[in-house]
Amino acid sequence: MAPLIQTVGLRKDYRVGDVIVPALRGVDLEVAGGGFVSVVGASGSGKSTLMNILGLLDQPTGGRYLLSGEDVSALDRDRRATLRNRTIGFVFQSFNLLARTSALENVELPLLYDGTHATAADRHRRARALLEAVGLGSRVDHTPAQLSGGQQQRVAIARALVTGPRLLLADEPTGNLDSRTSIEIMEILQRLNRDDGLTVVLITHEHDIAEYGERNVVFRDGRVVDDQPVSRRRDASAELQALPAPEEAA
Amino acid sequence: MIAEALSILRIAFRALARNKVRSALTALGVIIGVASVIAMIALGSGARAAIDEQIQSTGTNVVFVSAGSHNRPGAAHGGMGSVQTLTLEDATAIREQVPTVAYLTPVVRGRAQVIAGSQNWNTSIEGADESYLTIRNWPLADGENLSPRDVLLADKVCLLGDTVARTLFPGEDPVGQVLRVKNLPFRVIGVLSPKGQGQWGQDQDDVVVAPYTTIQRKLLGITFIHQIMISATRSDAVERTAVDVTHLLRQRHRTSGPEDDDFSVRTVEEMAETRSQLAQTMSGLLMSVASVSLLVGGIGIMNIMLVSVTERTREIGLRMAVGARTRDILSQFLTEAVSLSVLGGVAGIVLGVAVSAALTRVLGWPTMITAGAILVAFVFAAAVGIFFGYYPARKAADLDPIDALRYE
Ligand SMILES: Nc1ncnc2c1ncn2[C@@H]1O[C@H](COP(=O)(O)OP(=O)(O)OP(=O)(O)O)[C@@H](O)[C@H]1O
Ligand SMILES: [Mg+2]
């Protein structure tokens, strides 16, 4: 079976004035369905550029990108939007929730664009189920301003999953969170990967966070310089149980 | 499909509600513009209705020949002055020589005190012949019309307008009764049906109609006449009749043109013209207010939508990231702009109806609100939203998802 993600000599050049900045210089990467890959590398090494292309937010300047065996390097805007909606979920460092909008409605957002014309009741039901899965069943009506950073990121995860995608792309999802909250987020990602077979590509520059993945890809100057299984994979669930209980439950 | 449209609308309304004051101020231009459109159309339709009614109540296909000229004010209108240029021979000549004349009556006028029993009333007296009612399209409510014989013999008989009948003979049947005009007894032979207000708001029912011969000889002591009232055979013969009558009278009076004419010929349509010109001037004024306001309002909407697109760049990027296509973003912002202008339109319609009512109440100008006017105003408002909202919406829809997501 074809890998879920396959890139062949992927290149991305940015043009700034007359200068061409190569951000990706030939990336060959494969991620099997159900995998959990961490991508690490110094700042400016091209991690986010890669994620944007894998997430069909951006198009490569050269090379090929096959998603589920289909070449998607040159799809038009709307085809890419539809594919993003159906097969890819995003989690960003800065959460990117709609302000003054309830958690429930934030999670429902992708359902407005999935072309199924689901009823409002149906959308509510699906969004609520996902908020419950990330432990926010009691916060559905809270707006982002009424939620902690960790809770906001969990809303973002629920939003990423509401259309039932196969692939979750997370760019520094714990970048704005403290260590305990980071472990909680990792627990959710590991659980989704393990229980639901969700493929996760986690971008981070923290090596200890990268160890929650099963495979570690190292980036430098727009190239993959190392690609190895994680030798002692961390288990967020076990770590959480070992930690003293938080003062305030989510 | 409907559910989808509703959710798009909901998003738009929510976005507008977030900046209520800003939205209201933005809609102001559209409000004023649409209100002007409504008032403009209301004034136009009101004037047209009033003119139709005036033509209807004056009589159809009517041509008036009055003594005195257009150029000598005071003499022309109503022929109440002492201008003695119009004669019965003129009337006879017109009747015999202008083929498109269907009916014709000489008219003499005066005001007089009329007395019946203990009731006393000052009213206007119209002296005419038996064609008067036909020309003026004025049915009898009771009794009978003047007869040619009454006119020939200068009988002291009369017809009462509704107001006079009710004032002089309250609760009684006036037909057969006698009233006194300047001490002369007149027998009432008929009562006219109510006609209502005339062109200048006067009570047309405040009148006594009697044979012109009687009024000439016994009341006024004159031999000339004030006016000749003609109805043409067909509506398309009215102009022809007016032209022929003018030529004939110029021959008879030896005048050469409008400068030295000692009579004036006017059709009821011409008389209505004055009024329609007034309405047209006002409508034109409102039209310019409307177009300027709608333009300014539209630019205001465009400006605010551009601000809104910039403010919400990250939101747009996020929507795109989770699957919004070009047309989803386009329709979202277009819906917002159109909602804004249509809400302004609805407020403008309400304001316009109020303004029209005020024009009628305060200035006495007839106005008429029609479903068509409201529809036109609504369409205008929506069109402004679409036209001026398109560019900002297009800008939003064409954003690059990554740039939008990264936008600070
Ligand atoms: N829009 C852009 N225009 C021009 N150059 C860009 C643009 N985006 C990224 N770059 C350049 O491409 C290179 C890779 O950037 P990228 O954001 O992928 O790095 P990163 O690995 O995600 O870094 P960080 O860990 O700081 O997020 C950098 O040199 C950056 O300056
Ligand atoms: Mg980055």
- B140 and B176 belong to one structural domain: yes
Instruction: Inspect the interface and report whether the beta carbons of B405 and A96 lie closer than 8 Å.
Output: yes
- What are the residue ranges of helices labelled H in B155-218? 162-168, 212-214
- B13 and B116 belong to one structural domain: no
Q: Is B138 a domain residue?
A: yes
Taking CA atoms, A39 is separated from A71, A117, A171, A173, in Å, by 22, 36, 9, 12
Tell me: pLDDT of A134 over 50: yes
Average pLDDT rounded to a whole number, residues B283-296? 85
From the list A126, A134, A128, A209, the residue with the least C-alpha distance to A172 is A209
Q: From B261, B285, B311, give the residue that closes a domain.
A: B261
Contacts of B311 (CB under 8 A, 6+ apart): none
CA count, 13 A, side-chain hemisphere, B332: 22
Contacts of B285 (CB under 8 A, 6+ apart): none
Instruction: Inspect the interface and report whether the beta carbons of B322 and A92 lie closer than 8 Å.
Output: no
Predicted pLDDT at B201: 66
Domain ranges (residues) in chain A: 5-92+167-249
Question: Quick one: what percent of chain B has pLDDT higher than 70?
Answer: 95
Which two tokens mark B122? 């000052």
Average pLDDT rounded to a whole number, residues B113-140? 92
Q: Which long-range contacts (CB under 8 A, 24 or more apart) does A177-180 make?
A: A177/A149, A177/A150, A177/A153, A178/A150, A180/A243, A180/A246
| pLDDT tens track for B240-253 | 999 999 999 999 99
Contacts of B3 in chain A (CB under 8 A): 117, 119-120
**Residue B39 in contact with residue B355, Cβ under 8 Å?**
yes
Query: What's the domain range around B156?
Result: 86-261
**Residue A89 in contact with residue A163, Cβ under 8 Å?**
yes
Q: Identify the residue whose tokens are 């159809």.
A: B60
Model pTM score: 0.75
A96, closest residue in chain B (CA to CA): B318
- B357 and B225 belong to one structural domain: no
User: Of all protein residues, whose CA lies closest to atom 31 belonging to ligand 1?
Assistant: A44
Q: Whole-angstrom Cα distance, residue B100 to residue B131?
A: 16
Which two tokens mark B371? 């479903």
- B312 and B181 belong to one structural domain: no
Torsion of CA A169, A173, A179, A185, to 10 degrees: -60
A205 CB within 6 A, ligand 1: yes
> Which of A11, A25, A45 to probe ligand 1 with, by most ligand atoms within 8 A of CB?
A45
Characterise A41 by phi-psi region: left (phi > 0), alpha (psi -120 to 50), beta (else).
left
Q: Is B94 a domain residue?
A: yes
Torsion of CA A113, A114, A117, A120, to 10 degrees: -70
Domain count, chain B: 2
Q: Whole-angstrom Cα distance, residue B173 to residue B242?
A: 40
- B91 and B173 belong to one structural domain: yes
- B34 and B13 belong to one structural domain: yes
To the nearest whole angstrom, how far is the Cα of B326 from the nearest Cα of chain A? 7
Mark the residues whose beta carbon lies below 5 A from ion ligand 2: A 48
B6, closest residue in chain A (CA to CA): A120
To the nearest whole angstrom, how far is the Cα of A72 from the nearest Cα of chain B? 16
Instruction: Inspect the interface and report whether the beta carbons of A113 and B326 lie closer than 8 Å.
Output: no
- What are the residue ranges of helices labelled H in chain A? 47-54, 77-87, 103-108, 120-133, 149-161, 179-196, 207-210, 236-242
Average pLDDT over all residues of chain B: 88
Q: Choose the weakest-confidence range: A191-195, B19-23, B176-180.
A: B19-23
Instruction: Inspect the interface and report whether the beta carbons of B318 and A120 lie closer than 8 Å.
Output: no
- B227 and B328 belong to one structural domain: no
Q: From B261, B296, B314, give the residue that closes a domain.
A: B261
Region A5-92+167-249: CATH code: 3.40.50.300
- B240 and B353 belong to one structural domain: no
Question: pLDDT band at B82, cuts 50/70/90?
Answer: low
Predicted pLDDT at B76: 39
A121, closest residue in chain B (CA to CA): B3
The partner residues of A60 in beta bridges, in order of sequence, read none
Phi, psi of B224 (to 5 degrees): -80, 175
Tell me: pLDDT of B297 over 50: yes
Instruction: Inspect the interface and report whether the beta carbons of B1 and A85 lie closer than 8 Å.
Output: no
- B200 and B308 belong to one structural domain: no
| pLDDT tens track for B26-72 | 999 899 989 988 988 888 888 878 777 777 777 778 899 998 875 55
Which two tokens mark B253? 């009076």
- B138 and B255 belong to one structural domain: yes
Average pLDDT over all residues of chain A: 94
Q: Is B69 a domain residue?
A: no
Average pLDDT rounded to a whole number, residues B174-193? 93
Q: Is B80 a domain residue?
A: no
Q: Is B364 a domain residue?
A: yes
- What is the b/e burial string over B234-268, where b = at least 16 CB atoms within 10 angstroms of the residue's CB? eeebbebbbebbbebbbeebebeeeeebbbbbbbb
**Residue A41 in contact with residue A51, Cβ under 8 Å?**
no
Distance of CA A44 from the midpoint of ligand 2 (Å):
7
**Residue B347 in contact with residue B24, Cβ under 8 Å?**
no
Q: Whole-angstrom Cα distance, residue B184 to residue B196?
A: 28
- B48 and B90 belong to one structural domain: no
DSSP string, B349-383: HHHHHHHHHHIIIII-------HHHHHHHHHHHHH
A79, closest residue in chain B (CA to CA): B325
Q: Mutating which of A86, A101, A112, A123 best tests the B interface, going by the most B Cβ atoms within 10 A?
A: A112
| pLDDT tens track for A150-193 | 999 999 999 999 999 999 999 999 999 999 999 999 999 999 99
Size of interface A-B (CB pairs under 8 A): 61
Predicted pLDDT at B391: 96
User: Of all protein residues, whose CA lies closest to atom 19 belonging to ligand 1?
Assistant: A44
The partner residues of B229 in beta bridges, in order of sequence, read B64, B105
**Amino acid residing at B88:** L
- The A-side interface with B (CB below 8 A) comprises 52, 55, 57-58, 77-78, 81-82, 84-86, 90, 92, 96, 98, 100, 109-110, 112-114, 117, 119-120, 159, 163
The partner residues of A168 in beta bridges, in order of sequence, read A89, A200
Contacts of B18 in chain A (CB under 8 A): 100
- B91 and B132 belong to one structural domain: yes
A43 CB within 6 A, ligand 1: yes
A113 CB within 6 A, ligand 1: no
A152 CB within 6 A, ligand 1: no
User: Of all protein residues, whose CA lies closest to atom 18 belonging to ligand 1?
Assistant: A46
